[in-house]
Structure 1
Amino acid sequence: MSLAGCSTGEKAASTENGEVKAAGSEDTLIIARLSDAESLDQQFMSTINAASVTHGKIYEGLVGRDRNAELQPLLAESWEQLDDKTWEFKLRQDVKFHDGTDFTAEAVKATFDRLLDPEVGSPRAGVLSMVEEVKIIDDFTVQFLLSEPYSPLLSILASHESGIISPKAIEEFGGDDIQEPSGTGPFVFESWTPGQVIILNRNEDYWGTLAKVGRVEFKVVPEETTRTAMVETGEAHIAEPLSIAQFDAVNASQNSKVYQSEGFGTEYITFNVEKAPFNDVRVRQAVSHAIEMDAIRKGVYNNVGGEANSLLGPKVFGYHEGLETYEYNLSEAKRLLAEAGYSDGLEIKLSTMDNKERISLAEVVQSQLKGIGIKVTIEVMEYGTFVESTHSGDTEMFIISWRNATGDADYNQYNLMHSSSIGASGNTSFYSNSEVDGLIEEARKEADSEKRIELYAKAQEIEMEEAVYIPIRVIENVAAMSKDVSGFEISPSGYLEINNVSIK
C-alpha cells in the first residue's frame, strides 16, 4: 500500500518535478473500468474490483503494506503480541473520520464487532472468526483477544475487510450495506450512480500526506475499445482491465502505454463439485488431463502471466513450488470418463464473465474437450451476474480468479477451500474435505513458518489429487495508462494505488 508509513502529517501535495499544488486544486483522475463495484461496504464486498474503490482511499486499516508488500504501521502506530492469543495495538491520536468523528479505540471495536456479529451476516466474517473480543484498554489502545493462535492476523488486518468504519456510519446503517462510506483515508466519498460512476474527493484534512489529485471518478465502461479510446483521447487517464489483444494498439499510441505488474493471485478453472457430473472426481480428473495449458498460456494470453501450479502465486507465503499439475493425456482422460460411466461422452456448461481473454479461453477449452467426447456450451455473463451465479452455486464449470489480498496462503486456502467458506465467502467450488479443513485450521494456529508451509503443501496436494481446480496462470495486473500520468500502481493484491498519482 502506497499509504503505509505516510505519517508526516504534511498537507502539501508535490508533483513529480517538485512543484507544489495548492491543496484545493481540483485535478480530476478518471479511471474507466469494466464493471461497477457490487458494494461500497468493505465488510460485504467480495471482490478486489470493489475493494479497489474504497481500500486505502476511503477506508484504512490498523496496518498497511508498503510498495514492497511489507507490513507497516497505518492507523496503529505500533503493535505487540503479548502471548499466543493476545495482540495489542497502540493507535494514532491525530486522526479523524470524514464525518468529523475522532478515531479512537471505540471505532476499532465498533468496526470489528459489526464484522463479527452473526446477525449482521458479513460474508467476510470468517477470515477473523478466531477473534473473540476487541477489548478497549484506553482511548488509543486496543487488544485483540483470540480463541486460538492465529499467525496471519496482521495480514488480514492489512486487507480491505479490516478497514475501520466511522461509528456514525455504523450507527446509521447498522447491519445493512453501508451506502455512504466514511473512513479515515485520503479520499472522501461524494456519490455513487450505480452502473455509471463513483466519485471521490481529496480529503483536505487527511492525517498523512495529501493525495496529489483533487478528485477521482471511477467510470463504468463495459466496452474495452471504448475504455482504451478514452485514454487515447484524454477522456480518461487509466483504463482497466486491459486485454492482451489491446497491448500493441495501446503501446503504439502517442498518448497511452501499458502498465504491468505481477500479482499474488491466479486465474483458474474450477467446478461445482456438488453438481453432476462434477461431483465425480474422475470426471474432474479427466477434464484436467484434457486441457493443454501451455498452449492456452501462449495462444490466449501471449505468455503474459506466469505458469501456475496452484491457487497461489510464487510471491505468496505458502506457495508449493513442487506441486505437480495433471499432465496432458487424452488417453487417460478418456479412460477416466469411461470409468465414470461416460464412455459415450457428455454435455456440460462452461461459464465465464464477459472478458475477452476468458471468452477466448472458454472457446479453446470447448475445442480441447471435444477431443474426449465432452460437448461444451459456453455461457457468458455480465460480471455482477457471474459473481452472483458462482456464489449461489448456479454454475457447473467456470473460469475465475482469486487475487489474494494478503500475500498469505491462509487467505486463499480458508476462503477458497475451507468448508465454512462455501458460497459468497469464496468457496464457489462448494468443496468440502474434513482433512483439508483440519490442515488449514492447524496452519492458522501454527507459529512456526516452516511447519505452516508443510501444512499448506499437504492441503494443496489433496486438492490437486481431487482435481478441485485447474490452474491457468499467475495473474499479471495490466491497464492502459495515459502518458500524462505518473505514480499509478496496482498492488500484488490487485488494489489500484492512486494516492501518489499526478497528472501533467
Structure 2
Amino acid sequence: MSIVQKPYKLIVLLLVLMFGLVGCSTTKENVDGKEKVEKEEINELIVARKADAGNIDPHFISSNPTANYVYGKVYESLVSRDKDSNYIPALAEEWSQIDDLTWEFKLRKDVKFHDGSDFNAEAVKQVFDRLLDEKTASPRAVVFSMLKEVEVKDDYTAVLHLNNPFSALLSVLASSEGSIISPKAFNEGGVDLSINAVGTGPFKFESWKPGQEMILLRNEEYWGTKPSFEKLTYKVVPEESTRVAMVETGEAHVADQLPVTELNRVEGSSSMSVLRTEGFGVEYIGFNVEKEPFTDVKVRQAIAHAIEKDAIIKGVYNSVGSRVASALAPKVVGFHDGLKDFPYDVNQAKNLLKEAGFPNGFKTTIVTDDRKERINLAEVIQSQLKGIGVEVEIQVLEYGVYIETLSEGKSEMYIGGWGNATGDADYNQYNVFHSSSAGPVGNFSFYKNPVVDKLIEDARKEPNEEKRMELYAELQEIELEEAPLIPIRTLEHLSVTAKGIDQVWMNPVGFFFFE
C-alpha cells in the first residue's frame, strides 16, 4: 500500500477588523474596487490560557493543555491532520507502508531546526531513540511501544520498523508524542527542554515566566508559509470570567476553555465570537471496580439506569456536547453507532440494586476536580441517585490531587474524561480499558477483563480496516454491558475570539492552530 501526499503549506493568517487591540496598525483596503474599509494588521496575537504549561518536553508532556502551548507552533511531526482530520504531509512529504512491520517516510529537504541544525533522517532516528531509551524514562514511550527502530535509509528517507503490526501508526505520529525535537538540543546539553523548546515549527520559543506568560516569535526561516503576525503571547489567566473580559475589552484576542456558564454572555456580545469544535473525547462517570459495592456489575448497571443524561446535558452543559453510550466519540475512528444505551429507568435501577443485595441503597463518594461544570455534574448525580437510595458524598479536589487520587485507586466513583489525542480508537481502548493501563496511565476504574485485553491487542494489529472496526464494535458492546464507566457526553471544545479573528481554529483535541 502506498500513500503519497502533496506538500503541506499553511495559509497566511488574515486578522482583520480588530480596532484597538494590542499590537495593531491600521491600513486601508479596497473592497470590490469601490470603497475603502479599515483593516487591522496584528503584530502580536495574545491568547489568554486557563492553565500554565507543565513540562514542555514532548517526551514528558502529560496533558493536552500543555501540549497546546507548543505542538503545531514550535514543534511539528512527520504527519499532520487537516480540519477534517485527514492525514496530510508535514515534515514528511510522502510515506508508504512497505509491509505490516515497515513504513517508509520521505522527508522535506528544506527544513532547519530553530537552533540552525539540519532536519534529516538521522534527526528523526535520534528523536525516537531518545523517546524509547529506558534512560530517558519518558512516560510517553508507551505510545510508541510498537516501534522497534528507525533506519536511516538515506539523508532524507527514514524507515520505521515495528515490533508488531500497528494499524494506528499515523494517528500517533500526528500527535504531540510524535513531535520532532532538535537532537542538538538534547545531545549537546545547555538546553533544558522542560522549560525551553527547539523544533522546526512556524514559531520559535522566546521566553516563559511560569504562572504568567509564554512568548513565541515568528520563525523567519520557516519552510512553510509564515504567520502574518510576529509574536504569539500566552497569558495565564485561571479565572474564567476574567479571560472572557480580556477578549471583550481588547486585552486579548483569544481565550481558551470557555465554560458553558459564560456561553450565553459571549454569544450575545457584539465584540466576541464563540469558537467551538466537536472533540474526540468523552466525559463520563467512572467506578473503581475493585471497591465494594462497584465490584458487582449489577450495581454499576443500576446507576447507569438512574442517571438521566439528557437532563444533565441540557441543564449542566447548556446543550454543549451530545449524548453518547460509548467511551469513543463519533469523530473517532472505530466509533460504534449501533450501541443501545441504558434507558433512564428508576424502577429497573432499584430492582438491580435489590438483586445485588442493596434493597435500601448504600453510601458512597464521588471525586471530581474543581471545574465548575464537573462540580455541577457531581451535584446533579448526587440528586439523581437519591431516587434509588444511593447517598453520594462529593469530594472536590485540586486537579493535581484529583489525578493522584484516581491514579492510586483511592476513589469509589469519579467524574472523568478522556480527550483522545490521536482520534483513533486504540488511544482510548488501550489507555482506558486495558488491564496494563490500570492506574496512572488512564484506566482509573482498574478494570480488568482478559477478553477485552485480547480484543484491544488484536484490533491494534489488524491490517484489515473492516475487521478492525468489527473488533472495536465488539469491545464497545462489552464495555457498555459491564459498565466500568458511564459515558455522559461527547466533549465539545469552546473558546472565545474577538470579532474578526475567524482564521484561528481548533482541532478535535482542542489545540489552537493559526493559519
Under a length normalisation based on structure 2, what TM-score does the superposition of the two structures give? 0.89
Counterpart position of 1:313: 329
* Gaps in structure 1 of 5+ consecutive residues: none
Question: Of the two, which has the highest radius of gyration?
Answer: 2
Question: Is the CA contact (8 Å cut-off) linking 1:26 and 1:215 kept in structure 2?
Answer: no
Q: What is the CA-CA distance between 1:401 and the residue it aligns to?
A: 2.0
2:272 equivalent to 1:251: no
Which whole-Å CA distance do the structure 2 matches of 1:244 and 1:80 have between them? 43
The letter of the residue matching 1:321 is D
Q: 2:353 aligns with which of 334, 337, 361?
A: 337
Counterpart position of 2:31: none
Q: What is the CA-CA distance between 1:254 and the residue it aligns to?
A: 2.5
Aligned length: 491
Which whole-Å CA distance do the structure 2 matches of 1:407 and 1:218 have between them? 26
The 5 A counterparts of 1:100-499 are 100-171=116-187, 178-497=194-513, 499=514
Question: Is the CA contact (8 Å cut-off) linking 2:16 and 2:501 kept in structure 1?
Answer: no
Which whole-Å CA distance do the structure 2 matches of 1:65 and 1:381 have between them? 35
Which whole-Å CA distance do the structure 2 matches of 1:264 and 1:27 have between them? 33
Percent of residue pairs identical: 54
Which whole-Å CA distance do the structure 2 matches of 1:305 and 1:220 have between them? 26
Q: What is the CA-CA distance between 1:319 and the residue it aligns to?
A: 0.8
Cα RMSD after superposing both structures: 2.5
Q: What is the CA-CA distance between 1:206 and the residue it aligns to?
A: 1.1
Question: Is the CA contact (8 Å cut-off) linking 2:15 and 2:502 kept in structure 1?
Answer: no
Q: What is the CA-CA distance between 1:60 and the residue it aligns to?
A: 0.6
Question: Is the CA contact (8 Å cut-off) linking 1:271 and 1:397 kept in structure 2?
Answer: yes
Q: What is the CA-CA distance between 1:154 and the residue it aligns to?
A: 0.9
Question: Is the CA contact (8 Å cut-off) linking 2:186 and 2:193 kept in structure 1?
Answer: no
The letter of the residue matching 2:59 is Q
Which whole-Å CA distance do the structure 2 matches of 1:235 and 1:52 have between them? 21
Question: Is the CA contact (8 Å cut-off) linking 1:271 and 1:468 kept in structure 2?
Answer: yes
The alignment partner of 2:478 has SS state of helix
Q: What is the CA-CA distance between 1:209 and the residue it aligns to?
A: 0.9
Q: What is the CA-CA distance between 1:219 and the residue it aligns to?
A: 2.1
Aligned CA distance change for structure 1 residues 483 and 32 (closer, same or farther; 3 Å): same
Q: What is the CA-CA distance between 1:339 and the residue it aligns to?
A: 3.7
The alignment partner of 1:486 has SS state of coil
Q: What is the CA-CA distance between 1:258 and the residue it aligns to?
A: 1.4
Question: Is the CA contact (8 Å cut-off) linking 2:431 and 2:443 kept in structure 1?
Answer: yes
* 415-424 or 404-413: bigger deviation: 415-424
* 442-451 or 386-395: bigger deviation: 386-395
The letter of the residue matching 1:168 is K
Which whole-Å CA distance do the structure 1 matches of 2:190 and 2:311 have between them? 50
Which whole-Å CA distance do the structure 1 matches of 2:408 and 2:206 have between them? 32
Which whole-Å CA distance do the structure 2 matches of 1:448 and 1:328 have between them? 37
Which whole-Å CA distance do the structure 1 matches of 2:317 and 2:483 have between them? 23
Q: What is the CA-CA distance between 1:176 and the residue it aligns to?
A: 8.7
Counterpart position of 2:75: 59
Under a length normalisation based on structure 1, what TM-score does the superposition of the two structures give? 0.91
Q: What is the CA-CA distance between 1:292 and the residue it aligns to?
A: 0.8
Aligned CA distance change for structure 1 residues 15 and 293 (closer, same or farther; 3 Å): closer
Which whole-Å CA distance do the structure 2 matches of 1:249 and 1:177 have between them? 39
Question: Is the CA contact (8 Å cut-off) linking 1:300 and 1:361 kept in structure 2?
Answer: yes
Which whole-Å CA distance do the structure 1 matches of 2:496 and 2:179 have between them? 28
The letter of the residue matching 1:97 is F
Question: Is the CA contact (8 Å cut-off) linking 2:323 and 2:490 kept in structure 1?
Answer: yes
Q: What is the CA-CA distance between 1:421 and the residue it aligns to?
A: 2.3
Deviations 1:270-291 (A, max 9, x none): 1222333333323222221211
* Gaps in structure 2 of 5+ consecutive residues: 18-26, 29-40
Which whole-Å CA distance do the structure 1 matches of 2:320 and 2:359 have between them? 37
* 234-243 or 84-93: bigger deviation: 234-243
Question: Is the CA contact (8 Å cut-off) linking 2:148 and 2:162 kept in structure 1?
Answer: yes
Which whole-Å CA distance do the structure 2 matches of 1:122 and 1:49 have between them? 18
Deviations 1:336-389 (A, max 9, x none): 334434334332222222222211111100101112222212222333433343
Counterpart position of 2:35: none
Q: What is the CA-CA distance between 1:213 and the residue it aligns to?
A: 2.2
The 5 A counterparts of 1:84-95 are 84-95=100-111
Q: What is the CA-CA distance between 1:145 and the residue it aligns to?
A: 0.7
The alignment partner of 1:118 has SS state of coil
* 96-105 or 188-197: bigger deviation: 188-197
Question: Is the CA contact (8 Å cut-off) linking 2:15 and 2:500 kept in structure 1?
Answer: no
Which whole-Å CA distance do the structure 2 matches of 1:308 and 1:175 have between them? 45
The letter of the residue matching 1:251 is E
The alignment partner of 2:185 has SS state of helix
Which whole-Å CA distance do the structure 1 matches of 2:401 and 2:192 have between them? 21
The letter of the residue matching 1:383 is Y
Aligned CA distance change for structure 1 residues 388 and 236 (closer, same or farther; 3 Å): farther
The alignment partner of 1:97 has SS state of coil
Q: What is the CA-CA distance between 1:459 and the residue it aligns to?
A: 1.0
Question: Is the CA contact (8 Å cut-off) linking 2:211 and 2:236 kept in structure 1?
Answer: yes
